[in-house]
Structure 1
């Protein structure tokens, strides 16, 4: 399977992941377990952006490997830091999204890097850039959530 094929599968996997998080009430879990001051509107907007990025990376995959590799890194970071580690730290409290993170994000994320390597499109610099960009994409909404309630950023 080519990197573009895997990129499209990654978008489908993210859609399944969003559905699992929504149905199993990720918002209340995130508030209780990781202390994020998140509302459902934050969840909707953030995940709409992730879906748009998913379409963009899949479309760019034939010409721009950094796009899908950043998406793969985002999936791996999300799975690890927002699902697996909190599950382990809470001694087994289920994190909504954990199942799709394990079943889809890890295999697809790794496969995308492996395939980019096989296609000669992966270098150490590209891998570092992908993980740096993926980490920034993961951190951005979290930072925005933390900032929005500070007096300087309140608009009311």
Structure 2
């Protein structure tokens, strides 16, 4: 399967993942378990941005193979650190775990396999993509924390 096809499948997987998270009330889980100060507008905007990024990475996959690797990294990090591990540690199902395990993990790994097997990416590119995925995953969380800190400071002033 080509990197381009895999990139489009990753976008579809992310759309299904967002649907699972919404239907299974990820927001309440994130507030209760992760203690994230997240609301539904945050969820909507963040997932809309990720879907746009997913469309872009799929569109440029053949010309810039590192870009789908960053998106695959985002998916893998999301699956492991925001779904699988929290579900195991807390013994409370993290909404999104099903699509993370059934779609994110196999597709994310396959993107890396494809890129390395075809020579589109070496170790350095793969490591940079993992770092990029981690930064993408951290960005909305950091923004939430900054906003929460600002709102708390303003309320206490």
TM-score by length of 1: 0.95
In 2, the alpha carbon distance for the partners of 1:7 and 1:153 equals 40
Match of 1:105 in 2: 104
Does structure 1 retain, via aligned residues, the 8 Å contact 2:37–2:148?
no
Q: Which residue of 2 aligns with 1:131?
A: 130
User: Residue 144 of structure 1 corresponds to which residue in structure 2?
Assistant: 143
Aligned length: 155
The match for 1:94 is: 93
Long gaps (5+) in structure 2: none
Residue 31 of structure 1 aligns to a residue whose secondary structure is helix
User: Does the Cα contact within 8 Å between 1:57 and 1:67 map onto a contact in 2?
Assistant: yes
How far off its partner does 1:135 sit? Answer: 0.2
Gaps of 5+ in 1: none
Q: Give the aligned partner of residue 115 of structure 1.
A: 114
RMSD: 1.6
Paired with 1:33 and 1:72, the residues of 2 have a C-alpha distance of: 25
Aligned residue for 2:50, secondary structure, equals: helix
Q: Which has the higher helix share?
A: 2
SS across alignment from 1:83: helix
- Counterpart-to-counterpart distance in 2, 1:51 and 1:97: 15
TM-score normalised by L of structure 2: 0.95
Separation of aligned partners in 2, 1:27 and 1:102: 19
**Structure 1 position 27, deviation (Å):** 0.1
- More off after superposition, 97-106 vs 117-126: 117-126
Cα distance, 1:152 vs structure 2: 8.1
Q: Deviations over 1:70-113 (max 9, x none)?
A: 0000000000000001001112x111000000000000000000
Q: Does the C-alpha gap of structure 1 residues 121 and 86 become closer, same or farther in structure 2, counting only changes over 3 Å?
A: same
Superposed displacement of residue 151, structure 1:
3.3
